[in-house]
Structure 1
Amino acid sequence: MLKPEKLVLIGLDAPIAPRIYDYAMKGHLPNIKRLINRGVYFRNCMVPYPTITPPNWTSIVTGARIGTHGITCFNMHKPGMPLDHTYSAFDSRDCRAQYIWEAIEETGEPVLIVNYPSTWPPRGKNVIQIGGAGLALNEWRIAPGLERVEVGRYAAKYGVTICDGMLFSSDEYPLAAKINLREGGEWKNLPSGVKNIREAEINLYFPRALYRVKHTSWLLLALDYGSGFTEIVLSKARDFSSAFARLKRGEWSQLIKDIFETEKGEFKAAFKVKLIELSRDCSKIKLHVYPIGALSG
């Protein structure tokens, strides 16, 4: 038997384990099924309580219970802090136990960490780390600029670079922006066969942005080819040929890259969009903009 040269640890945050297993056995998750069949699958594992992200992820990579490693909840409270103050438990400096990569580092082997929660700032000299200060790569639950408390490090606030996800809809939803479609204006280079168009201006509202972002708006164009509205495009100008996304209902865009101007300068960022709903009469529309992630900084 060949001796493995590399170890890869992959974690999924907050899945429903029986459903993951069921979907895998039915063939919907073939790669996970292959891992189960070729490896070991545990049922009814003992996990630390409370069963939430920071304590459990920390226990996985330290082998320690929460009373040993010290990450006891989603938010932390230290002696001497005001009783109504906490801060996010995503700071590696609060972990009192040794991480597995610190032990590996002692053998001289390199370690790559990608978005492992509660592990920022990086610990170790031979460690390459991306993310770990939140639940997503571009989420910062500990970062300069977040509200500080008198004792401890940061309050339970967090920011995202560039921003969290956004929802635009013809219906009213909490934390969403409403789309108001109107008769389409003069658009250049429309494809042949278009019978009717509707348009709306979308003003990005950049939820949970760590840095203030300059106002940005897109144009949404809905197209009817004779059997009702079946497609939209997103563009910065009334020119179909300059559209950066073209979608039918249920479709995701390709990865989109753009420049966003913030109070800290320009950031190149990447994101996707999905057209969740589009009725034939264009009375119902729902567009999801995936979190916009800065590619540097």
Structure 2
Amino acid sequence: YSRALPHWPAETGCNWATIATGATPARHGCKYSVHLPGWPLDKVVPGFSSELCRAEQIWQVVDRLGGLSIIIDYPQSYPINAKRVVHVGEDGYPGPNSRLCIANAHAYVTRDPPPELPEYLRRYLTKVEVRRAEGWANLPEGERLEAELPVETRGGAVTFYALLEREGGAYRRVSLFAERDYSKKLGEAQAGSWSNWVRWRFRLGGEIVWAYFRYKVIELSEDGRSLHIYMSQVYPEEGWTHPPELAKELVNRFGPYLHRPTEQALVVSGASDIETFIEEQEYQAEWYSKVASHLLRKYDWSLFIMKWHGPDFFEHFSLHMIDPSHPLFDPEREAEGWELYARFYGICDRLVSSVLSAVGDDVVVAVVADHGHVANVVHHVGNEVLEEAGLLARRPDGSVDWSRTKAVFLAEGVWVNLKGRDPHGVVEPGEEYERVRDEVIALLLSLRDPETGRPVFSMVCRREEAKALGVGGDRDPDVVFCYSTWAQPKARAKRPLKHPLWGVVTGTHGAYLPSAKTAVGTIETVFIVRGPGVKRGYRRPRPIALSDVAPTLCYVAGIPAPRDAEGRVVRDMLEGEPDLEA
């Protein structure tokens, strides 16, 4: 076991690429959002396509040697870039609007969202009207209520109809239809429960795509007037495996593939709740467990690699439950928080256990994560501070006036609007470029939290000065920064949203020092490995770097490290090597 330091920035797109390549971000070029040289300084793309990764990946090494790799939704693994691969999922992107998603998860509610809910969270909620059901064919006797549920798909808007039905004099069941015909029921769910999986055809362009979704009746009052329906992601029946025919085999054996379960924005917005979040994450983890076990027994493989994003989603909205440095921490509910953590990480344990059972004791197995979380206590800043300092200008409509702008925040850093590199560059290379960077660095270092007076940033520097963090490539910003993690006063705590266990974003990661900590949270992550040639019971006293993972695992497996690996073999974790002294 060892703690592990992520590279900067401590986020998904960056560090899963590092784990698979042994390369630093400066070499592999991947982050959550990637800006390519020559693009306008307001353009980024998700950094999860394999086409964006500039370093050799571990499954490409295995392929070179004639081995087969089984890959499940690992970042930068799609489009497939090796010959001998069994692939399930996509490119590991955890955000909305994934490659094949037909419709994102959504909620339908009868009450107005809180007025202070930001617009980016309101998009997860649609207010619906419950009214008497009229104009239905084949409707049995008795009073029923209905609500229209519009679904925005990649092929346009589709409307489903929710029919509220009584049991014992109270409304307790919601059935789903694609048209007002009671004989054509698609799904049914009791109050507080999930429906069956609904298989339905969706038109995308000129093509019909069959897909699955389900819904949960989170709330249904006895009179039917208060309603909250959560609808899962709508995801295709096939198209997400290689070989292609594998998708239907997996669905038939293990049920529909839920590619993106409930995540933190859905909980924070109130579209979902914590119980629903855990239920969906558990479904996905159990599905992955069954699929992994099946594939590991079906194929003659050399490498198995997968990413499960559940813990990252979970800690984003829950860290305040256990971390006293967050102003929303409530000591009277701390035990409740730890119980929830034990329950959720039990899902992780079962997923790992299923893989261990499938591979046996003579295989090298590693459990690793891309980053940890710290309490979200920092006073975040953006383009407004550059504007106040005269480094960024806007037009009357609020858009950036590039002809008068010298610097801009983009992709977890600050970019200088440089002539010869950027399409609207105004800053001359050389002396003026360095002067603007000096201005930006001095400005950011001068910023103080308005309530505590503490520095907003713990580090600000030129990108070439941050090589120790793995930074320095042409896709990295001109000025790199790391937020501080000062604890905030209780007065900072605001509870604008009333959800179970508060429901606000309280855990975070990204532009922080790799060793940053709060009372409980840490940006550090873990590297756990077992198998032939690996010491048993050894706890390394100092952390490794995530770029050490691939070289170490390749060494133990007896294969070359990826071509562009910059990390090292952690020899003190191997049998016959001396322990590292604390």
| TM more than 0.5 | yes
* 2:4 match: secondary structure: coil
Q: Unmatched 5+ residue regions in structure 1?
A: 1-41, 141-159
Q: RMSD of the alignment, in Å?
A: 2.4
Q: Unmatched 5+ residue regions in structure 2?
A: 114-121, 240-582
- Which residue does 1:95 correspond to in 2? 53
* 1:283 match: secondary structure: coil
- Which residue does 2:203 correspond to in 1? 261
* 1:79 match: secondary structure: coil
* 1:244 match: secondary structure: strand
1:275 to 214, 217, 221: 217
Is the CA contact 1:235–1:245 (under 8 Å) kept in the aligned structure 2? yes
Quick one: distance in 1 between partners of 2:197 and 2:97? 16
- Which residue does 1:249 correspond to in 2? 191
- Is residue 82 of structure 1 aligned with residue 82 of structure 2? no
2:110 to 170, 175, 187: 170
Quick one: distance in 2 between partners of 1:68 and 1:289? 41
* 1:162 match: secondary structure: coil
CA positional deviation for 1:138: 7.3
Quick one: distance in 2 between partners of 1:286 and 1:292? 18
Quick one: distance in 1 between partners of 2:206 and 2:15? 35
Decide whether aligned partners of structure 1 residues 195 and 225 sit closer, same or farther in structure 2, where only a CA change above 3 A counts: farther
CA positional deviation for 1:58: 1.0
Is the CA contact 2:144–2:163 (under 8 Å) kept in the aligned structure 1? yes
How many residue pairs are counted as aligned between the two chains? 228
Is the CA contact 2:103–2:151 (under 8 Å) kept in the aligned structure 1? no
Q: Which structure carries more relative contact order (alpha carbon 8 Å, separation 6+)?
A: 2
Decide whether aligned partners of structure 1 residues 243 and 43 sit closer, same or farther in structure 2, where only a CA change above 3 A counts: farther
* Residues 1-297 of structure 1 mapped to structure 2, 5 A cutoff: 42=1, 44-71=3-30, 73-130=31-88, 131-132=90-91, 134-135=93-94, 139-140=98-99, 160-173=100-113, 174-175=122-123, 176-185=125-134, 186=136, 188=138, 190=140, 196-206=143-153, 209=154, 212-213=155-156, 215-297=157-239
One-letter amino acid matched to 2:144 = I
- Which residue does 2:569 correspond to in 1? none
CA positional deviation for 1:286: 1.0
* 2:144 match: secondary structure: strand
* 2:91 match: secondary structure: coil
One-letter amino acid matched to 2:211 = A
Of 130-139 and 243-252, deviating more is 130-139
Is the CA contact 1:171–1:178 (under 8 Å) kept in the aligned structure 2? yes
Is the CA contact 1:114–1:132 (under 8 Å) kept in the aligned structure 2? no
CA positional deviation for 1:109: 1.7
* 1:286 match: secondary structure: strand
Q: Which has the higher helix share?
A: 2
Quick one: distance in 2 between partners of 1:54 and 1:104? 22
One-letter amino acid matched to 2:108 = F
Q: Which has the higher strand share?
A: 1
* 1:93 match: secondary structure: helix
Is the CA contact 1:229–1:282 (under 8 Å) kept in the aligned structure 2? yes
**Cα deviations by residue, 1:221-263 (Å, 9 ceiling, x for unpaired):** 1112234211111123444442111111221222221111121
Is the CA contact 2:71–2:77 (under 8 Å) kept in the aligned structure 1? no
CA positional deviation for 1:136: 7.1
